[in-house]
Amino acid sequence: RPSSSNPRIIDRGMSDDKIDLRPLPPPSSNVNWLGELTLPHDVFGMLHVTPFRDYQFFVLLLCVILELLFHLLILLEILDEKNVLNNLLESLNVAPGNDVKVLVAQFAAIVVAVITQGHLMKSLEFIIVSPRSISAKTGVSDIQTFVAIVLRFIHGFSGLVIAFIIICQSSNIFMLFAEFAALEFVSKIGDIIFALTERLYFGVELYKMTQKVKETKISDERTSTVHMRRIAFWFIMILMVFLWAEIVYYQRRGFFVNHKYTLAVGDDFVLRDSYLSGTYEKMDGLANRRVRYKHVSPLRLNSDYTSNGESGPDVRAGILAYCKTARRWSVSTPRYDADDKLHNPCENTVLHSEITTTYDVSKTSLSDWEVLSLTSGWVAVPSLYQLKSADCSANGHCSKMFNDGKLTSFGTCTLKTRTCDCFKGRLGNLCEIVLPPSDELILYDATKYIES
Protein backbone atom coordinates (compact mmCIF):
# COMPACT_ATOMS: atom_id res chain seq x y z
CA ARG A 1 0.00 0.00 0.00
CA PRO A 2 1.24 3.55 -0.55
CA SER A 3 3.15 5.07 2.30
CA SER A 4 1.42 7.88 4.13
CA SER A 5 4.56 10.02 4.07
CA ASN A 6 5.37 9.59 0.39
CA PRO A 7 2.89 8.17 -2.17
CA ARG A 8 5.78 7.13 -4.47
CA ILE A 9 7.11 4.66 -1.86
CA ILE A 10 5.19 1.40 -1.45
CA ASP A 11 5.07 -0.08 2.05
CA ARG A 12 5.11 -3.91 1.99
CA GLY A 13 3.33 -3.94 5.36
CA MET A 14 5.65 -6.70 6.66
CA SER A 15 8.79 -4.87 7.74
CA ASP A 16 10.65 -1.66 7.29
CA ASP A 17 11.72 -2.71 3.73
CA LYS A 18 10.31 -0.37 1.15
CA ILE A 19 10.64 -0.14 -2.63
CA ASP A 20 11.55 3.26 -4.01
CA LEU A 21 9.76 3.84 -7.31
CA ARG A 22 11.12 7.32 -7.83
CA PRO A 23 13.28 7.75 -10.98
CA LEU A 24 17.04 7.41 -10.50
CA PRO A 25 19.03 10.63 -10.44
CA PRO A 26 21.18 11.37 -13.51
CA PRO A 27 24.60 9.67 -13.37
CA SER A 28 27.34 11.74 -11.86
CA SER A 29 30.37 12.55 -13.99
CA ASN A 30 32.57 11.11 -11.20
CA VAL A 31 31.06 7.61 -11.48
CA ASN A 32 32.74 5.13 -13.88
CA TRP A 33 30.08 2.94 -15.46
CA LEU A 34 32.63 0.84 -17.43
CA GLY A 35 33.68 -1.25 -14.43
CA GLU A 36 37.08 -1.93 -12.93
CA LEU A 37 40.28 -3.34 -14.37
CA THR A 38 41.40 -6.21 -12.12
CA LEU A 39 43.95 -9.00 -12.16
CA PRO A 40 42.80 -12.29 -13.72
CA HIS A 41 42.37 -15.18 -11.31
CA ASP A 42 45.21 -17.37 -12.59
CA VAL A 43 48.90 -18.10 -12.04
CA PHE A 44 49.96 -15.07 -14.08
CA GLY A 45 47.86 -12.86 -11.81
CA MET A 46 49.60 -14.32 -8.76
CA LEU A 47 52.98 -13.40 -10.30
CA HIS A 48 51.90 -9.75 -10.13
CA VAL A 49 51.42 -9.76 -6.35
CA THR A 50 53.94 -12.32 -5.04
CA PRO A 51 57.22 -10.69 -3.88
CA PHE A 52 60.23 -11.69 -5.95
CA ARG A 53 62.32 -12.76 -2.94
CA ASP A 54 59.73 -15.24 -1.67
CA TYR A 55 60.03 -18.89 -2.65
CA GLN A 56 56.36 -18.84 -3.66
CA PHE A 57 57.29 -16.63 -6.61
CA PHE A 58 59.63 -19.27 -8.03
CA VAL A 59 56.99 -21.97 -7.51
CA LEU A 60 54.54 -19.90 -9.56
CA LEU A 61 57.21 -19.15 -12.16
CA LEU A 62 57.85 -22.89 -12.51
CA CYS A 63 54.14 -23.47 -13.14
CA VAL A 64 54.16 -20.80 -15.88
CA ILE A 65 57.26 -22.33 -17.50
CA LEU A 66 55.56 -25.74 -17.50
CA GLU A 67 52.56 -24.25 -19.29
CA LEU A 68 54.79 -22.69 -21.93
CA LEU A 69 56.69 -25.97 -22.23
CA PHE A 70 53.41 -27.74 -22.99
CA HIS A 71 52.82 -25.28 -25.82
CA LEU A 72 56.34 -25.83 -27.16
CA LEU A 73 55.92 -29.61 -27.15
CA ILE A 74 52.60 -29.31 -28.99
CA LEU A 75 54.22 -27.06 -31.61
CA LEU A 76 57.04 -29.54 -32.16
CA GLU A 77 54.46 -32.31 -32.54
CA ILE A 78 52.26 -30.61 -35.12
CA LEU A 79 55.02 -28.90 -37.12
CA ASP A 80 57.53 -30.46 -39.48
CA GLU A 81 60.55 -29.09 -37.62
CA LYS A 82 62.96 -30.25 -40.34
CA ASN A 83 61.24 -28.05 -42.89
CA VAL A 84 60.44 -24.92 -40.84
CA LEU A 85 63.48 -22.95 -41.95
CA ASN A 86 63.25 -24.05 -45.59
CA ASN A 87 59.53 -23.59 -46.20
CA LEU A 88 57.28 -22.36 -43.41
CA LEU A 89 54.05 -22.95 -45.33
CA GLU A 90 54.85 -26.58 -46.07
CA SER A 91 56.01 -27.20 -42.51
CA LEU A 92 52.45 -26.56 -41.28
CA ASN A 93 51.41 -30.02 -42.57
CA VAL A 94 48.15 -28.57 -43.84
CA ALA A 95 45.52 -31.01 -45.08
CA PRO A 96 45.63 -31.29 -48.90
CA GLY A 97 41.92 -30.50 -49.19
CA ASN A 98 38.63 -30.42 -47.30
CA ASP A 99 34.91 -30.71 -47.87
CA VAL A 100 32.61 -27.73 -47.40
CA LYS A 101 31.32 -28.95 -44.03
CA VAL A 102 34.88 -29.16 -42.69
CA LEU A 103 35.61 -25.62 -43.93
CA VAL A 104 32.52 -24.33 -42.10
CA ALA A 105 33.70 -26.06 -38.92
CA GLN A 106 37.17 -24.53 -39.34
CA PHE A 107 35.70 -21.03 -39.65
CA ALA A 108 33.61 -21.56 -36.51
CA ALA A 109 36.67 -22.85 -34.65
CA ILE A 110 38.67 -19.74 -35.60
CA VAL A 111 35.94 -17.48 -34.22
CA VAL A 112 35.79 -19.48 -30.98
CA ALA A 113 39.60 -19.47 -30.67
CA VAL A 114 39.80 -15.67 -30.86
CA ILE A 115 36.86 -15.15 -28.48
CA THR A 116 38.22 -17.52 -25.82
CA GLN A 117 41.85 -16.34 -26.00
CA GLY A 118 41.86 -14.20 -22.86
CA HIS A 119 45.59 -14.17 -22.07
CA LEU A 120 46.57 -12.30 -25.22
CA MET A 121 43.85 -9.68 -24.82
CA LYS A 122 44.58 -9.17 -21.11
CA SER A 123 48.31 -8.68 -21.74
CA LEU A 124 47.49 -6.03 -24.35
CA GLU A 125 45.21 -4.30 -21.83
CA PHE A 126 48.00 -4.20 -19.24
CA ILE A 127 50.43 -2.78 -21.80
CA ILE A 128 47.94 0.00 -22.58
CA VAL A 129 47.47 0.79 -18.88
CA SER A 130 51.31 0.72 -18.44
CA PRO A 131 53.26 -1.68 -16.19
CA ARG A 132 54.32 1.14 -13.90
CA SER A 133 50.76 1.97 -12.83
CA ILE A 134 50.11 -1.75 -12.22
CA SER A 135 53.24 -2.01 -10.06
CA ALA A 136 52.02 0.91 -7.96
CA LYS A 137 48.88 -1.06 -7.11
CA THR A 138 50.48 -4.49 -6.58
CA GLY A 139 53.54 -3.33 -4.63
CA VAL A 140 56.14 -5.18 -6.73
CA SER A 141 58.88 -3.88 -9.01
CA ASP A 142 58.25 -2.65 -12.56
CA ILE A 143 60.53 -5.36 -13.95
CA GLN A 144 58.54 -8.12 -12.24
CA THR A 145 55.30 -6.67 -13.60
CA PHE A 146 56.77 -6.43 -17.08
CA VAL A 147 57.99 -10.05 -16.95
CA ALA A 148 54.54 -11.25 -15.87
CA ILE A 149 52.91 -9.35 -18.76
CA VAL A 150 55.41 -10.72 -21.31
CA LEU A 151 54.92 -14.30 -20.10
CA ARG A 152 51.15 -13.88 -20.37
CA PHE A 153 51.52 -12.48 -23.90
CA ILE A 154 53.75 -15.40 -24.99
CA HIS A 155 51.26 -17.87 -23.54
CA GLY A 156 48.32 -16.26 -25.31
CA PHE A 157 50.12 -15.78 -28.63
CA SER A 158 51.49 -19.33 -28.74
CA GLY A 159 48.07 -20.73 -27.84
CA LEU A 160 46.47 -18.82 -30.70
CA VAL A 161 49.16 -19.98 -33.15
CA ILE A 162 48.71 -23.62 -32.08
CA ALA A 163 44.93 -23.32 -32.43
CA PHE A 164 45.32 -21.89 -35.93
CA ILE A 165 47.68 -24.69 -37.04
CA ILE A 166 45.40 -27.39 -35.61
CA ILE A 167 42.44 -25.86 -37.43
CA CYS A 168 44.30 -25.76 -40.76
CA GLN A 169 45.57 -29.33 -40.37
CA SER A 170 42.15 -30.77 -39.61
CA SER A 171 40.32 -32.85 -42.21
CA ASN A 172 37.71 -34.31 -39.87
CA ILE A 173 35.16 -32.38 -37.81
CA PHE A 174 35.27 -34.72 -34.81
CA MET A 175 39.06 -34.68 -34.59
CA LEU A 176 39.09 -30.91 -35.06
CA PHE A 177 36.97 -30.24 -31.98
CA ALA A 178 38.64 -33.04 -29.99
CA GLU A 179 42.10 -31.50 -30.50
CA PHE A 180 40.64 -28.03 -29.96
CA ALA A 181 39.16 -29.10 -26.62
CA ALA A 182 42.48 -30.63 -25.56
CA LEU A 183 44.27 -27.36 -26.34
CA GLU A 184 41.66 -25.42 -24.38
CA PHE A 185 42.31 -27.66 -21.37
CA VAL A 186 46.06 -26.99 -21.57
CA SER A 187 45.43 -23.24 -21.70
CA LYS A 188 43.28 -23.47 -18.53
CA ILE A 189 45.96 -25.12 -16.38
CA GLY A 190 46.77 -21.76 -14.78
CA ASP A 191 43.13 -21.27 -13.83
CA ILE A 192 43.00 -24.78 -12.34
CA ILE A 193 46.12 -24.14 -10.24
CA PHE A 194 44.61 -20.89 -8.96
CA ALA A 195 41.38 -22.67 -8.00
CA LEU A 196 43.26 -25.42 -6.15
CA THR A 197 45.45 -22.86 -4.37
CA GLU A 198 42.34 -20.97 -3.27
CA ARG A 199 41.18 -24.19 -1.60
CA LEU A 200 44.43 -24.43 0.40
CA TYR A 201 45.86 -27.37 -1.58
CA PHE A 202 49.28 -25.68 -1.78
CA GLY A 203 49.59 -24.02 1.62
CA VAL A 204 48.51 -20.90 3.42
CA GLU A 205 51.06 -18.51 1.92
CA LEU A 206 49.97 -19.15 -1.66
CA TYR A 207 46.36 -18.96 -0.49
CA LYS A 208 47.04 -15.43 0.75
CA MET A 209 48.33 -14.53 -2.71
CA THR A 210 45.06 -15.65 -4.30
CA GLN A 211 43.13 -13.39 -1.93
CA LYS A 212 45.42 -10.50 -2.73
CA VAL A 213 44.81 -11.06 -6.46
CA LYS A 214 41.05 -10.91 -5.87
CA GLU A 215 41.32 -7.75 -3.80
CA THR A 216 43.70 -5.85 -6.09
CA LYS A 217 42.09 -3.22 -8.26
CA ILE A 218 44.31 -1.82 -11.02
CA SER A 219 42.17 1.12 -12.10
CA ASP A 220 38.79 2.07 -13.39
CA GLU A 221 38.06 1.06 -16.95
CA ARG A 222 38.64 3.94 -19.33
CA THR A 223 36.97 4.57 -22.65
CA SER A 224 40.34 4.52 -24.39
CA THR A 225 41.08 1.06 -22.96
CA VAL A 226 37.74 -0.26 -24.17
CA HIS A 227 38.33 1.14 -27.66
CA MET A 228 41.84 -0.31 -27.88
CA ARG A 229 40.61 -3.71 -26.69
CA ARG A 230 37.88 -3.65 -29.32
CA ILE A 231 40.35 -2.72 -32.06
CA ALA A 232 42.79 -5.45 -30.98
CA PHE A 233 40.02 -8.06 -30.91
CA TRP A 234 38.75 -7.32 -34.41
CA PHE A 235 42.28 -7.00 -35.78
CA ILE A 236 43.17 -10.48 -34.50
CA MET A 237 39.86 -11.89 -35.76
CA ILE A 238 40.27 -10.44 -39.27
CA LEU A 239 43.93 -11.48 -39.44
CA MET A 240 43.12 -15.08 -38.46
CA VAL A 241 40.29 -15.33 -40.98
CA PHE A 242 42.46 -13.80 -43.72
CA LEU A 243 45.32 -16.24 -43.09
CA TRP A 244 42.88 -19.15 -43.03
CA ALA A 245 41.36 -17.99 -46.33
CA GLU A 246 44.88 -17.91 -47.84
CA ILE A 247 45.45 -21.49 -46.69
CA VAL A 248 42.15 -22.58 -48.26
CA TYR A 249 43.12 -20.81 -51.50
CA TYR A 250 46.39 -22.73 -51.67
CA GLN A 251 44.51 -25.93 -50.86
CA ARG A 252 42.23 -25.37 -53.84
CA ARG A 253 45.27 -24.96 -56.08
CA GLY A 254 46.80 -28.25 -54.91
CA PHE A 255 49.77 -26.65 -53.16
CA PHE A 256 49.83 -29.08 -50.22
CA VAL A 257 50.07 -32.27 -52.27
CA ASN A 258 53.10 -33.86 -53.92
CA HIS A 259 54.11 -32.47 -57.30
CA LYS A 260 55.45 -35.72 -58.70
CA TYR A 261 54.93 -39.45 -58.22
CA THR A 262 56.88 -42.45 -59.43
CA LEU A 263 54.68 -45.34 -60.56
CA ALA A 264 56.04 -48.88 -61.03
CA VAL A 265 53.49 -51.45 -62.14
CA GLY A 266 55.72 -54.48 -61.58
CA ASP A 267 57.06 -57.37 -63.61
CA ASP A 268 53.91 -59.49 -63.45
CA PHE A 269 52.18 -57.27 -66.00
CA VAL A 270 55.22 -55.94 -67.83
CA LEU A 271 54.07 -57.09 -71.27
CA ARG A 272 50.81 -55.19 -71.13
CA ASP A 273 50.90 -52.39 -68.55
CA SER A 274 54.57 -51.51 -68.22
CA TYR A 275 54.06 -48.37 -70.29
CA LEU A 276 52.23 -46.86 -67.31
CA SER A 277 55.38 -47.00 -65.21
CA GLY A 278 57.36 -43.79 -64.87
CA THR A 279 57.10 -40.30 -63.41
CA TYR A 280 53.78 -38.46 -63.16
CA GLU A 281 53.81 -34.66 -62.73
CA LYS A 282 51.02 -32.42 -61.48
CA MET A 283 48.84 -30.91 -64.20
CA ASP A 284 47.28 -27.45 -64.28
CA GLY A 285 43.74 -27.30 -63.01
CA LEU A 286 41.74 -29.72 -60.88
CA ALA A 287 39.41 -32.62 -61.56
CA ASN A 288 36.70 -33.36 -59.01
CA ARG A 289 38.39 -30.78 -56.72
CA ARG A 290 41.59 -32.83 -56.70
CA VAL A 291 44.97 -32.65 -58.38
CA ARG A 292 45.70 -34.61 -61.56
CA TYR A 293 49.05 -36.06 -62.62
CA LYS A 294 50.23 -36.75 -66.16
CA HIS A 295 52.80 -39.23 -67.41
CA VAL A 296 56.00 -37.27 -68.10
CA SER A 297 57.47 -39.54 -70.81
CA PRO A 298 54.74 -41.45 -72.64
CA LEU A 299 55.85 -44.57 -74.48
CA ARG A 300 55.93 -44.24 -78.28
CA LEU A 301 55.64 -47.59 -80.04
CA ASN A 302 56.98 -46.33 -83.36
CA SER A 303 57.92 -43.12 -85.10
CA ASP A 304 54.47 -42.47 -86.54
CA TYR A 305 53.15 -40.02 -84.00
CA THR A 306 51.77 -36.54 -84.28
CA SER A 307 53.85 -33.40 -84.41
CA ASN A 308 53.53 -32.55 -80.73
CA GLY A 309 55.18 -35.87 -79.86
CA GLU A 310 52.78 -36.56 -76.98
CA SER A 311 49.69 -37.95 -78.71
CA GLY A 312 48.71 -40.26 -81.50
CA PRO A 313 47.31 -43.75 -81.96
CA ASP A 314 50.63 -45.38 -81.09
CA VAL A 315 51.41 -43.32 -78.00
CA ARG A 316 50.76 -44.90 -74.61
CA ALA A 317 50.43 -42.45 -71.70
CA GLY A 318 48.64 -42.38 -68.37
CA ILE A 319 46.81 -39.89 -66.16
CA LEU A 320 46.56 -40.30 -62.39
CA ALA A 321 43.38 -38.61 -61.13
CA TYR A 322 40.31 -39.09 -58.91
CA CYS A 323 37.16 -40.72 -60.29
CA LYS A 324 34.22 -39.19 -58.47
CA THR A 325 31.70 -41.77 -59.73
CA ALA A 326 33.65 -44.74 -58.43
CA ARG A 327 35.15 -42.75 -55.51
CA ARG A 328 38.60 -44.08 -56.32
CA TRP A 329 41.96 -42.76 -57.45
CA SER A 330 42.65 -44.20 -60.89
CA VAL A 331 45.30 -44.45 -63.58
CA SER A 332 43.64 -44.22 -66.97
CA THR A 333 44.66 -43.75 -70.60
CA PRO A 334 43.03 -40.81 -72.40
CA ARG A 335 42.13 -41.01 -76.07
CA TYR A 336 44.98 -39.91 -78.27
CA ASP A 337 42.78 -37.41 -80.14
CA ALA A 338 41.29 -35.87 -76.96
CA ASP A 339 42.50 -33.03 -74.79
CA ASP A 340 44.12 -34.31 -71.61
CA LYS A 341 42.51 -31.51 -69.61
CA LEU A 342 39.05 -32.74 -70.65
CA HIS A 343 39.77 -36.40 -69.96
CA ASN A 344 37.34 -38.17 -67.65
CA PRO A 345 39.42 -40.19 -65.11
CA CYS A 346 36.59 -42.73 -64.93
CA GLU A 347 37.12 -43.77 -68.58
CA ASN A 348 39.72 -46.25 -69.85
CA THR A 349 40.81 -47.04 -66.30
CA VAL A 350 43.66 -49.52 -65.94
CA LEU A 351 44.50 -49.16 -62.23
CA HIS A 352 42.42 -47.93 -59.32
CA SER A 353 42.65 -47.60 -55.53
CA GLU A 354 40.24 -48.65 -52.83
CA ILE A 355 37.10 -46.58 -52.27
CA THR A 356 38.21 -43.36 -50.59
CA THR A 357 37.46 -39.66 -50.31
CA THR A 358 41.01 -38.52 -49.58
CA TYR A 359 42.44 -35.54 -51.44
CA ASP A 360 45.95 -37.01 -51.32
CA VAL A 361 46.68 -40.12 -53.38
CA SER A 362 49.61 -40.97 -51.09
CA LYS A 363 47.07 -41.68 -48.31
CA THR A 364 45.70 -44.67 -50.23
CA SER A 365 46.81 -48.20 -49.39
CA LEU A 366 49.05 -49.70 -52.07
CA SER A 367 47.99 -53.23 -51.15
CA ASP A 368 44.35 -52.35 -51.96
CA TRP A 369 45.03 -51.11 -55.49
CA GLU A 370 43.69 -53.22 -58.34
CA VAL A 371 44.67 -53.66 -61.98
CA LEU A 372 42.35 -54.54 -64.86
CA SER A 373 43.07 -58.02 -66.20
CA LEU A 374 42.09 -59.10 -69.71
CA THR A 375 40.55 -62.34 -68.44
CA SER A 376 39.69 -61.95 -64.73
CA GLY A 377 38.52 -58.36 -64.43
CA TRP A 378 39.88 -56.38 -61.50
CA VAL A 379 42.60 -58.23 -59.61
CA ALA A 380 45.12 -57.27 -56.93
CA VAL A 381 48.19 -55.41 -58.16
CA PRO A 382 51.52 -57.28 -58.31
CA SER A 383 53.68 -57.44 -55.23
CA LEU A 384 56.21 -55.10 -56.84
CA TYR A 385 53.62 -52.37 -57.49
CA GLN A 386 54.81 -49.00 -56.18
CA LEU A 387 53.44 -45.49 -56.05
CA LYS A 388 55.62 -43.08 -54.12
CA SER A 389 56.38 -39.39 -54.02
CA ALA A 390 59.22 -38.08 -56.17
CA ASP A 391 59.27 -34.67 -54.44
CA CYS A 392 62.01 -33.21 -52.31
CA SER A 393 61.70 -30.55 -49.65
CA ALA A 394 65.30 -30.51 -48.41
CA ASN A 395 68.73 -31.44 -49.72
CA GLY A 396 68.72 -34.51 -47.52
CA HIS A 397 65.84 -35.97 -49.54
CA CYS A 398 68.08 -36.33 -52.60
CA SER A 399 69.25 -39.87 -51.75
CA LYS A 400 70.75 -39.04 -48.41
CA MET A 401 73.12 -41.48 -46.72
CA PHE A 402 75.39 -41.56 -43.69
CA ASN A 403 79.07 -41.71 -44.47
CA ASP A 404 81.51 -41.90 -41.55
CA GLY A 405 78.84 -40.51 -39.25
CA LYS A 406 78.10 -37.55 -41.52
CA LEU A 407 74.92 -37.02 -43.51
CA THR A 408 75.69 -36.86 -47.24
CA SER A 409 73.31 -35.78 -49.99
CA PHE A 410 73.81 -36.47 -53.69
CA GLY A 411 71.99 -33.40 -54.96
CA THR A 412 70.42 -30.06 -54.10
CA CYS A 413 66.68 -29.61 -53.76
CA THR A 414 64.98 -26.77 -55.62
CA LEU A 415 62.08 -25.92 -53.32
CA LYS A 416 60.03 -24.09 -55.95
CA THR A 417 59.81 -27.15 -58.21
CA ARG A 418 60.57 -29.77 -55.51
CA THR A 419 63.12 -31.28 -57.88
CA CYS A 420 66.59 -32.66 -57.10
CA ASP A 421 69.51 -31.31 -59.11
CA CYS A 422 71.81 -34.32 -58.94
CA PHE A 423 75.58 -34.14 -58.61
CA LYS A 424 77.85 -35.73 -61.17
CA GLY A 425 77.59 -39.49 -61.12
CA ARG A 426 73.96 -39.59 -59.91
CA LEU A 427 70.67 -39.82 -61.79
CA GLY A 428 66.95 -40.13 -61.07
CA ASN A 429 64.12 -38.11 -59.50
CA LEU A 430 65.79 -38.32 -56.09
CA CYS A 431 69.35 -39.01 -57.34
CA GLU A 432 68.88 -42.66 -56.40
CA ILE A 433 70.63 -44.08 -59.50
CA VAL A 434 74.40 -44.49 -59.49
CA LEU A 435 76.01 -44.08 -62.90
CA PRO A 436 78.66 -46.67 -63.88
CA PRO A 437 82.32 -45.65 -63.75
CA SER A 438 82.59 -45.58 -67.55
CA ASP A 439 81.12 -42.87 -69.72
CA GLU A 440 78.75 -45.32 -71.37
CA LEU A 441 75.26 -45.89 -69.97
CA ILE A 442 73.32 -48.75 -71.50
CA LEU A 443 69.54 -48.29 -71.47
CA TYR A 444 67.01 -50.96 -72.44
CA ASP A 445 64.90 -49.60 -75.27
CA ALA A 446 61.28 -50.44 -74.51
CA THR A 447 60.00 -48.37 -77.41
CA LYS A 448 60.72 -51.22 -79.84
CA TYR A 449 57.94 -53.32 -78.34
CA ILE A 450 55.05 -53.90 -80.77
CA GLU A 451 51.72 -55.18 -79.52
CA SER A 452 50.47 -58.29 -81.36
The tens digit of pLDDT for each residue in 289-346 reads 888 898 887 655 544 433 344 444 455 678 899 999 999 999 888 765 556 677 788 8
Neighbours of 247 (CB within 10 A): 22
Per-residue pLDDT at 238: 95
Q: Are 364 and 290 in contact (CB under 8 A)?
A: no
Model confidence band, residue 353 (pLDDT cutoffs 50, 70, 90):
very high
The residue type of 126 is F
Higher pLDDT, 304 or 412: 412
Weakest mean pLDDT among 197-201, 318-322, 414-418: 414-418
Angle 67-73-75 (CA atoms, 0-180°, nearest 5)? 105
Which whole-number Å values give the CA distances from 413 to 254, 396, 422, 433, in the listed order? 20, 8, 9, 16
Q: What percent of the chain has pLDDT above 70? A: 75
Q: What percent of the chain has pLDDT above 90? A: 19
pLDDT, tens digit (0-9, with 9 covering 90-100), for 67-96: 999 999 988 888 765 555 456 666 777 888
Per-residue pLDDT at 395: 66
| Residue 284 dihedral angles phi and psi, to the nearest 5° | -75, 145
Q: Are 216 and 137 in contact (CB under 8 A)?
A: yes
Weakest mean pLDDT among 174-178, 349-353, 433-437: 433-437
What is the bridge-based pairing of β-strands 9-11 and 18-20?
Answer: antiparallel
Give the SS3 label for residue 401: strand
Per-residue pLDDT at 34: 54
**Closest-CA residue to 209 (of 65, 47, 66):** 47
Higher pLDDT, 223 or 47: 47
Per-residue pLDDT at 448: 46
For 360-386, give the DSSP string: -GGGS-GGG-EEEETTTEEEEPPTT-E
Per-residue pLDDT at 373: 80
Three-class DSSP labels, 138-155: HCCCHHHHHHHHHHHHHH
Integer Cα distance of 309 and 302 in angstroms: 11
Does the predicted TM-score (pTM) go above 0.75? Answer: no
Angle 222-223-224 (CA atoms, 0-180°, nearest 5)? 90
Interacting residues of 39 by C-beta distance below 8 A, sequence separation 6+: 45, 48, 49, 138, 213, 216, 218
Per-residue pLDDT at 33: 46
- Average pLDDT on 17-31 reads 52
Integer Cα distance of 296 and 319 in angstroms: 10
pLDDT, tens digit (0-9, with 9 covering 90-100), for 424-440: 877 777 787 777 665 55
- Average pLDDT on 275-289 reads 82
